[in-house]
A and B are shown apart, each in its own frame.
Chain A
Amino acid sequence: MSRVDDLPRRTPAAAGTLPPARRLPPSLAGNPTLPYPAIGRELSALRLQIPGVHGCVLGGVDGLLITHNLQNEANPDDLAALAATMFGLGRQVGFRLGQGDFQQSTVRNENGYLSVYAVSRQALLAVVGTDSINVARLHLHAPDTAARLADLLDGVTPATP
C-alpha cells in the first residue's frame, strides 16, 4: 500500500517548495477506441438481471462519464462524478484503516439506492436502483459484471492527452 504516500497530506509545506506536478493516466472518458457495444451489453445485462435497477453508469475514477444506460431522469455526468466522490471516500477509508483497495460502496436513501463498484484502477461502475431492489443479488452479480468490464477496458490504447 505504498500509494498512501501519493496522497496529499495535511502537513505544512516548507516555504518556497512546490510539490512536483502529479502525473495522472489519460482519462478513459471520451476514448473512441473503447469497445462501447460490448460495454453496453454488459450494462444492459445487469439491468435485466435485477428487477428495480434503473440503470448503470460507467465512469472514470476522475469523475468523468465513460458511458451509461440510465432510463430515468438522473444526470449520468452527475452520477459519474458522485461515483468518483464515493470512491474517493472509500479509498481514504481503505488507506487509513489498512483495508486495501476500494471495492464497493452503497448509499441507501428513502426511495432508492446508489451502489458504486470498483471496475479497475481507472474505472467505476455505479448502479441506480429503486428502494425495493434485491441488494444482495445486486452485490452478487455486479462484481462479476465489473470484472468483465475490467477485461473490456483492459488493453485499450490510451487516448492521446
Chain B
Amino acid sequence: MGNLDVALKNAMSIDGAIGAALVDYTSGMTLGVAGGTGEIDLTVAAAGNTDVVRAKLRTIEMLKLDDEIEDILITLGSQYHLIRPLSNRTGKGLFLYLMVSKSRANLAMARHQLRAIEESLEL
C-alpha cells in the first residue's frame, strides 16, 4: 500500500488541499485518507459521495450513453470537491476524492494534478 500512501500524500500537496481519500464505491468504505479537519470526517464524506458516484453512474446507464465518468466537480461556497473514479483495471470500483479550498486552490491545476496522481496509482 506504499503506492496508496504516496498518492494520498501527493494529493495533499496540491495547493489548497484540505483532505483526500481513496474510496470503494461498491461499499462506501475508504481504503485510505489523508488530511481532513476536526469538523470534516473524511469517512463520512466518502460514504456520502459514494451515493453521488452511484447516482451518476446509474444516470449514464439509464441514458444509454455507454461512457464513463472522468471526474465530478462539486462547487461549494468555500470549497471545491473533486471526485475522480480510477480508470485502470486494478482500480475498478474505486474513486479518488479531493477537497480543496476555493480561495487557495487553482482548480485547473488541482484537476490536472489529480489526473496525474490517478494515472500513477497502481494498487
Binding site for B on A (CB under 8 A): 132, 134-137, 140
Contact = CB atoms under 8 A, between A and B. Distances in A.
Interface of chain A, helix or strand or loop or mixed? helix
Nearest to B29: A136
B44 A135 contact: no
Interface of chain B, helix or strand or loop or mixed? helix
Given A136-B50, A137-B28, 19 more contacts: A134-B27, A134-B28, A134-B47, A134-B50, A134-B51, A134-B54, A135-B27, A135-B28, A135-B29, A136-B27, A136-B28, A136-B46, A136-B47, A137-B47, A137-B48, A137-B51, A140-B43, A140-B44, A140-B47
Contacts of A132: 26
A132 B57 CA distance: 13
Contacts of B28: 134-137
Contacts of A136: 27-30, 43, 46-47, 50
Nearest to B23: A136
Contacts of B51: 134, 137
Interface of B: 26-30, 43-44, 46-48, 50-51, 54
B11 to A, nearest CB: 20
Of residues A135, A136, A137, A140, which shows the largest number of chain B Cβ atoms within 10 Å of its Cβ? A136
A136 B23 CA distance: 10
15 contacts: A134-B27, A134-B28, A134-B47, A134-B54, A135-B27, A135-B28, A135-B29, A136-B27, A136-B29, A136-B50, A137-B48, A137-B50, A137-B51, A140-B43, A140-B47
Contacts of B47: 134, 136-137, 140
Nearest to A136: B28
Contacts of A137: 28, 47-48, 50-51
B99 to A, nearest CB: 17
A134 B30 CA distance: 12
Nearest to B41: A140
Contacts of B30: 136
A22 B3 CA distance: 54
B5 to A, nearest CB: 20
Contacts of A134: 27-28, 47, 50-51, 54
Nearest to B47: A136
B21 to A, nearest CB: 11
A161 to B, nearest CB: 42
A134 B48 CA distance: 9
Nearest to B46: A136
